[in-house]
Structures are given as C-alpha cells and as structure tokens.
Amino acid sequence: MAIDARALMGQQTGIGTYTLGITRALNALPEMEVGLFAPRPLAGAPSSDGFEVHLGPDIPGLIWTQAALARRAADWGADGLLAALTIAPVKSGVPVVSVVHDLTPLTHPQWHAARTLVGFLPFWDRTAERAARFVCVSETTARELSRLYPDTRSRIRVASNGVDPAFSPGAGEPERNQTRRRFAGGRPFLLFLGTLEPRKNVAALVTACEQLWEESSGRPDLVLAGGVGWKAAALLDRIEQSSHRGRIHVAGYAPRDTARDLYRAAEVFVLPSFAEGFGLPLAEAMACGAPCVASTAEALVEVGGDAALYAPADDPPALARAIATALEDPATKRRLSAAGPPRAALFTWEAAAAITARALEEAAS
C-alpha cells in the first residue's frame, strides 16, 4: 500500500505522528507491504524502520499530490493509496482510502491558514465523491462526515489514533526538576502542548491562568509547548501584554522525547481546543500520568472519558475552576493520575492498523 507521507517532511506534528504511527503498524502486518511517497526527503521516517521510501519529483506538495502521487503509486504496483492528509488525487487509477482527521477547514475556515484552505477546499468534494473508503480518527469525526456527506456513510470506518509506548509514567523528582529548570525557570508548571493557532484556543487558557494567579500567586506557571502556527500574532501579542508575562513560557516545538518529559513534569495538562479530530496530546498526557483538563469538544470527551476534567472552550472562568480542582483537590488529582494510563492504553497503533488494513483491502477489491 502506498501512503502519502508529506506530513513527515518537516517537524512532526499531529498528522506527522499519525503517518509514522500507522505506517509502522501497517508495515508490521505480515500481509502488508508499505511504501512512503513524498516529493522531498522525510525527517520523521528513519531508514531503520524498514519500509520503502519513494521521493520526487521535487515540486510543491499541492501540485505533487494531483500530478505525481497516483502515477508513482501505480508505477510501484500499489493495490491502494492511503491519503494520510485527507485530500486524494482527483484522478487515480489506484483505489484511495482517505484519512479524515477533522473537517474544520470546511466548517471553520477562519481557523486555518490560506495555504491549508487552498490545498483542501478545491479538492475535498472530489475526494468525498471518489474515495473508496474513509478512515476517521474518532467517532466524532465520523459523525461529522456522515452528517455533512450522508452518501459517505457506508464507506466510513473508525480507527482511533494510537499512543506511542514511549509515553508512560516514570519520571522521578530529579527528572521533573530538570524539566522545570529547562522550561519554567525551576518552577512547577501547567502545560499546553500543540501548535499555537486559533483552533487550540490558547488565549482562553492564558486568561484562565491569569485568574488563577490573581487569586493565588503560589500557583504554577504556564508552559506553552509547540510550534508557532498560522494566525498566531494576536496570541503572541496577548501574551506579551499580560501583567503576568514572566510566568508564561513559550517553549517552542517539542519533539517526542521532550514532549514526554513535559507531560511527566506537568502539574496539570490542559487542552482547551474549540475542536479536535482526536486530540492526541490529551491521550499522550494521560499515558504519562498527568492530571488532565480539556474543553468539552466532543472528540476530547471521547478520548478522555472519565480520566479528565472538562470545561466549555468559551468559558475561561470555568476552565480556571477545573484547573484549580485538578491541581489542588488531592483526591481528584490522584484519581486523574491513576485513571490516565489505562485510559490511554485503549488507543494503540496496532488496533488502528488492523482497521485501516481492512479498509485498504476493501478499497483494493
């Protein structure tokens, strides 16, 4: 099976993590041979993983997807093509399975960069019409797809993201202190991890933390880990103008091992997004035993279950109360820390690969 691997060409964010996780798990299946296809070299797929990598031609990704991907997959002899970034080639002699992470470019274009919309909106309707199967990363995304496009219902399969086994509890106090020194000037911290962009609703978290600090100066700092994304200027300006600027630490992109250290050291992990397709950082934080607070976005409740506390995305005071409870109520903090790892263990790449492989086989037949 051919896989569109463009998400592995740069820093590995959510779709890159998905692409690498599902590729490794599919490649481990005895009946599956996997090839990764991209216009340029991959940063997130080491050759030691043992799967084939096909590069070129070196042209812009949007043009490459429509002009080269399907032809190269067919020349390789692929029985199916996994469109890991959702959009598929308009013309393809190879059956396509589209991976639908979320449909927010369609439903909330204001949250996205112009380049994302240019690469999604003109081609999505054809993808919805022509894909042999859809793999949705959550029941929430599957419901949204079937609501907006009822004729896709029979083609939808749900395969949740997996959590890398590297995310687990285990840091002792010396390791936690080292992470605090590295990212928060040695102070305890609350953690957000994700790209700094409008959908993540980080401004509400900043407001909630300001309320917490006004009530008690002894509460933890805030670490914002993740690359600076699109439309982030207003958020960065908001942070600079905060009267508590010295307590807000913008840490930048966090690769896997750094993310794990941050999860393990955090007093509370917070994901206040307006919407998510799955919410992988929430699952990773739970796996590391961090007490978690999330918005009431449907996918986050689906992932977190009873192992997290929730507050509406548009209610910073409610978010502040939830954080305070997770932080300062001993029984709640112990319960969340204990409930997180078994909840996260429900999400494996092996299970995702089994469902995805069946969808690929159905598409190929």
CATH of the domain spanning 2-162+348-364, picked from 3.40.50.2000, 1.10.10.10, 1.10.645.10, 2.20.28.160? 3.40.50.2000
The CA distance from 137 to 21, in Å, is: 13
- The residue whose two tokens read 């029979």 is 154
Which 3 state secondary structure label does DSSP give 62? helix
Find out whether 65 and 87 touch, Cβ atoms under 8 Å. yes
Domain ranges of the chain: 2-162+348-364, 173-344
DSSP structure class, residue 43: S
- Note the pLDDT of residue 46: 58
Contacts of 113 (CB under 8 A, 6+ apart): 229, 230, 231
- The residue whose two tokens read 């109520």 is 329
How is 184-252 classified by DSSP, letter by letter? HTTS-EEEEES-BSGGG-HHHHHHHHHHHHHH-TTS-EEEEES-B-TT-HHHHHHHHH-TTGGGEEEEE
Fold of 173-344: Rossmann fold (3.40.50)
Find out whether 84 and 22 touch, Cβ atoms under 8 Å. yes
Establish whether domains 2-162+348-364 and 173-344 are of one fold. yes
Distance of CA 121 to the CA centre of its chain: 21
The CA distance from 309 to 319, in Å, is: 9
- Note the pLDDT of residue 170: 86
Which 3 state secondary structure label does DSSP give 152? helix
The angle at the Cα of 91, spanning 90 to 96, to the nearest 5 degrees, equals 80
- Is the backbone peptide bond immediately before 342 cis, with ω within 30 degrees of 0? no
- Note the pLDDT of residue 171: 79
- Note the pLDDT of residue 146: 98
- Note the pLDDT of residue 243: 96
Distances (CA, A) of 67 to 70, 71, 89, 116, 235: 8, 8, 8, 18, 37
The alpha-helical segments, DSSP class H, found in the chain are: 14-27, 61-64, 70-76, 104-107, 114-130, 139-148, 173-184, 202-215, 233-241, 256-265, 280-287, 298-304, 316-328, 330-344, 349-364
pLDDT string in tens for the chain (365-residue length): 999 999 999 888 899 999 999 999 999 999 999 999 999 999 865 555 778 899 999 999 989 999 999 999 999 999 999 999 999 999 999 999 999 999 999 999 999 999 999 999 999 999 999 999 999 999 999 999 999 999 999 999 999 999 999 999 987 999 999 999 999 999 999 999 999 999 999 999 999 999 999 999 999 999 999 999 989 999 999 999 999 999 999 999 999 999 999 999 999 999 999 999 999 999 999 999 999 999 999 999 999 999 999 999 999 999 999 999 999 999 999 999 999 999 999 999 999 999 999 999 999 99
- Note the pLDDT of residue 242: 97
Distances (CA, A) of 332 to 106, 154, 221, 319, 326: 38, 42, 20, 15, 6
